[in-house]
Amino acid sequence: MTRILLFLGTNMAVMVVFSIITSLFGLDKAIGQSPVTLIIYASLFGFVGSFISLAMSKSMAIRSMNVQLIEQPTNETERWILDTVHAQAKEAGIGLPDVGIFQQASPNAFATGWNKNDSLVAVSTGLLQTMTKEEVEAVLAHEVAHVYNGDMVTMGLIQGVLNTFVIVFSRILGSMIDNAMRGNRSGGGGGMGFFLGNIIGNVVFGFLASLIAAWFSRQREFRADAGGAKLAGREHMISALEALKRGSSSEDSALPERLQAFGISGGHLSKMASTHPPLDDRIARLRAEG
């Protein structure tokens, strides 16, 4: 579940930084009160923030999870993982992903990258130690399916649209607070009330937008399960999800919040905010599709 929460967290941080910069340098005043100008500005910065986050996702995942890339396999396990991922990528018709391993006691994996021909698939040491070879192959197939489905770009586009609405509503809130503090007297709309309202709006509306993004992520997760079943076999995919259920009780099982959306296993979040459907629902969906 590492992939999306990294993306969402980075995106929100970029949005807040953009908001502070535009306020400090007076760009908000230059935008003026024109709805058309505001929408153009919001769309521009909304999609810029989203795609900066997308472009940074691979390098940030490697650093934050301390992923050790397999460039020259040093043992049979590394060679098998690299060969398996590359074979699945060729079958799916995508570029060969970078492959890596990260230290984590619980079973987990994730895929990320800004497009399907420049991606990363990484697995935890715990996953390699607790799953059978067939189950690991299914997990890898699930991650390759995420890449094939273009989930990173899809979520980037969705987040760009959401960012646009966040910017618009944040500035409306800022203007309302600024007018209230001025006693509804005209004054350019760039006072402290606007600055504070804008920042608060970015945080509050950004959180609401993340709930919408999480819903879309859950739907993409079902698709990745189906893709993993096609590449590695339905029963192996079901077996891998059941193994994840057994290993999900560990407190170490959750990936960092900003990375979770593109992983194999979800974190301990409420159902509405989770980027992954419950494992029981995913298993039931695969059984029903069989």
Is 99:85 a contact under the CB 8 Å cutoff?
Answer: yes
Q: How many other CB atoms sit within 10 Å of the CB of residue 37?
A: 12
- Closest C-alpha to 3, from 120, 174, 135, 163: 120
Catalytic residue set = 143
